[in-house]
Structure 1
Amino acid sequence: MQSSQNSIQKVREQTDSVMLFCSLGKDSLVLLDLIYPHFNKIVCVFMYFVRGLEHVERWVDWAKAKYPKIEFVQVPHWNLTYILRSGMYCVANPKTRLLKLRNVVDAMRLKYGIHYCFLGMKKADGMNRNLMLKGYASNNYENDGLVYPLAEWTQKNILAYMKQHKLPQPVRYGKKASNGIGFNIDCFLWLRENYPQDLLKIYKVFPLSKRILWEYDQKNKDESIARA
């Protein structure tokens, strides 16, 4: 889309070094592919809930092999602060300082000395995203160094680009639009079936999350008994 090229070109006129917040999902992989030819240095920032999951590391290795100029850095997800403070599936730590995405962006800017940061958010992601991104339209979807080249893309556009440029489909834990790692049954079932070793790593950090699959199995067992 022309709006994407305008956003990227505007940043390229200012610098040859940028950051990309890369979740390794469809949107961020498409955005990485879009911006890669235009910049000499791209720092990809992946925010994790549990570090060192094998199925995630395989995608990190794939990205570094396909795009050798990138630097890939992994940092704790800002949402972890809310999980740790509230004690969701772990022992609560009320002293945990709550963070937002902007705090992570500012920390990465300070560490790497890079101002411009690309994010793969789209208007089609929901009403709040739509309202936010509409406010940046007159400035080529850029706001204080935060750049959103995919703002006008739809999921159909994303899938068409991936097919045209032969990008592989990332991990899909379930059928929902939001498809990252999280404390939900779709994700835990996928991990148990495909990467049980990663599930054990999650249990080590969040031991009480074992309850997710236990409750699921117990419910299915009770329903089977009732049908018998």
Structure 2
Amino acid sequence: MSIIDEALNDLSKARSISAKALVAYSGGKDSLVVTDLAVRSFESVEGFFMYLVPGLECVERQLEEGRKWFGIKIRLYPHWIAAKYVREGVYCNDWHGNNDLPEWKLNDIYALAMQEAKIPFILTGAKRADSGWRRRFMTTNYKEAVRNPIAGWHKYDVLAYLRARHIPEPPSSGKSATGIDLSTPSLLWLHDTYPDDFKRLCEYFPFAEAVVWRRKFYGI
């Protein structure tokens, strides 16, 4: 049995629970594969996306492409890590009142997304080959409600599937990532490629501009 057949077989079992599927949609390569597999397997598919900063053009464009390509609805939620960044003063003012912000976890977003979509499980693009953290996440987080149909895949399996299905690869926002975060490669990519989006991000994380000046003065 091929890895695609294994994934489709896993999704077939999930369909016996619900004819609808909810995909953790990031717009990255893995989530594109899982979304395509889900559309092939379920009567109805919805996605949900976690944003760091609302209203970024690069993100909105990516989401709209996903909606049109797969014909699905994509719900939006604040990323759970955003509150953590603010509480800890990452690229923003470390104000004592920030400590009162709620400590959201990924499972909280998952629970909210499933409740609002009225779908009892989530499909993710998590792979065991990604990292040790990812492997731990796959075995400890919401195991009963989260399915990882491409868990055994590798990077080149994902790329081969996208090409075979003629699904365009998403642009990289730094190193091998496709999402927007506060890592230096991601921030520099956003600054260079979507300067207006970078300015908007700096409205929330004003000291993120430090990475641009560091590159200018020190080349790093």
Which TM-score applies when normalising by structure 1? 0.86
- The whole-number CA distance in structure 2 between the counterparts of 1:128 and 1:215 is 29
The DSSP-based 3-state class of the residue aligned with 2:90 is: coil
Give 1:30-179 correspondences, 5 Å limit: 30-68=33-71, 70-92=72-94, 93-130=98-135, 133=138, 143-175=143-175, 177-179=176-178
Q: Say which is worse superposed, 25-34 or 183-192, in terms of deviation.
A: 183-192
Contact 2:188 2:211 in 1 (8 A): no
1:181 alignment partner in structure 2: 180
- The whole-number CA distance in structure 2 between the counterparts of 1:81 and 1:182 is 13
Contact 1:3 1:152 in 2 (8 A): no
Gaps of 5+ in 1: 137-141, 224-228
- The whole-number CA distance in structure 2 between the counterparts of 1:86 and 1:35 is 37
Change in 2 beyond 3 A, CA 1:131/1:61: closer
Q: CA deviation at 1:41?
A: 2.4
- The whole-number CA distance in structure 2 between the counterparts of 1:7 and 1:186 is 35
Cα deviation 1:43-62 (Å, max 9, x = unaligned) = 21110001111111111111
The DSSP-based 3-state class of the residue aligned with 2:192 is: helix
The DSSP-based 3-state class of the residue aligned with 1:181 is: coil
- Say what the alpha-carbon RMSD is for the aligned residues: 2.0
Q: CA deviation at 1:212?
A: 1.4
Cα deviation 1:94-130 (Å, max 9, x = unaligned) = 0011121111111112222211110110010112433
Contact 1:17 1:39 in 2 (8 A): yes
- List 4+ stretches of structure 1 deviating above 6 A: none
- The whole-number CA distance in structure 2 between the counterparts of 1:36 and 1:212 is 40
- The whole-number CA distance in structure 1 between the counterparts of 2:198 and 2:135 is 35
Structure number with greater Rg is 1
Cα deviation 1:163-198 (Å, max 9, x = unaligned) = 1111111120222x4443122332222222221111
Cα deviation 1:126-159 (Å, max 9, x = unaligned) = 12433565x69xxxxx931211001010001001
- The whole-number CA distance in structure 1 between the counterparts of 2:64 and 2:22 is 18
Contact 1:184 1:212 in 2 (8 A): no
Which TM-score applies when normalising by structure 2? 0.89
Identity %: 29
Contact 2:174 2:185 in 1 (8 A): yes
2:7 alignment partner in structure 1: 4
2:26 alignment partner in structure 1: 23
- The whole-number CA distance in structure 1 between the counterparts of 2:160 and 2:173 is 21
Cα deviation 1:59-114 (Å, max 9, x = unaligned) = 1111111122x111111011112101111112341001112111111111222221
Contact 2:21 2:38 in 1 (8 A): no
Amino acid at match of 1:85: R
- Say how many residue pairs are matched: 213
- The whole-number CA distance in structure 2 between the counterparts of 1:13 and 1:19 is 14
